[in-house]
Amino acid sequence: MEAFTPAPQESREGDEEVEIGVIENSLLDSDKKLDLIMLSLDRKKAAFLLNCKITETEREKEEVIRDFTEELEEIKKTLTELGYHYNEDGVKIEDEVIIRFSVAVSKEEEDLAQLIDADKQGNNKEIGLLLGYPATAVDSYNSEKALDSEHFFQIDLPEDERKQIRKSGVLKFLGFQPSKEHWREELEEVRESQALIKEKAPNLYEAIMASEDVI
């Protein structure tokens, strides 16, 4: 990644309503808006804003590079307006077919430095905690104690609880692998974030609830 790139404009930190307005009015996708609003609401200390696609033809590669370059510029524009600190790993081609970019972002420069260092060291636990994931989920990550969220409903649950979880839409806000032992408590943390988004960023909330990403 490039050297630290703190946003040059005066920070908007502390003006929550203005920050959320900037994020909701940006052209970013819902996942990236959610990450930034969770930062604004201090539900996490840092975030990775990224995109990656495998291309099949030279024409597709050119189109993806163009689209990713435009998306990256929108991200940087938004972060500059917010006054957040960020480091970009610009649009790159890997193995001739994989196009990707990544932006590490935080409101505090020391949190950004910690995230970048943890990423270099491959310290998934520290990364997970900085990204705001529950400690129990972080501890179980990449082990047999983790619950694959894709197969969440294979858990043996009472039918009324299963229906309630589906109806609530809480899994649409789940950005981590729950643990098999503590998934109920972890889901409560997600519900708290969901409620905050509904209150503070209703436009984003409606967009996420209307998405088909999670049933």
The pLDDT of residue 48: 97
Residues 182 and 93 in one domain: no
pLDDT tens string 110-129: 999 999 999 999 999 999 99
Residues 110 and 141 in one domain: no
Residue where one domain finishes, among candidates 132, 165, 183: 132
Residues 108 and 146 in one domain: no
Residues 14 and 118 in one domain: yes
Residues 84 and 123 in one domain: yes
Domain that holds residue 146: 133-215
Residue where one domain finishes, among candidates 132, 159, 181: 132
- When divided into structural domains, the chain yields a total of 2
Residues 125 and 137 in one domain: no
Q: Do strands 46-54 and 98-106 pair parallel, antiparallel, or not at all (unpaired)?
A: antiparallel
Q: Which residues of the chain register pLDDT less than 50?
A: 1-4, 7-13, 215
With tokens 């930062």, the residue in question is 39
Residues 111 and 48 in one domain: yes
Residues 116 and 158 in one domain: no
- Calculate the CA dihedral of residues 201, 207, 210, 215 and round it to 10 degrees: -80
pLDDT tens string 152-194: 666 778 888 888 988 999 999 999 999 989 999 999 999 999 9
Residues 67 and 117 in one domain: yes
Residues 6 and 97 in one domain: yes
Residues 128 and 161 in one domain: no
Q: What's the whole-model pTM score?
A: 0.89
Residues 102 and 156 in one domain: no
The pLDDT of residue 4: 45
The pLDDT of residue 150: 63
Residue where one domain finishes, among candidates 111, 132, 153: 132
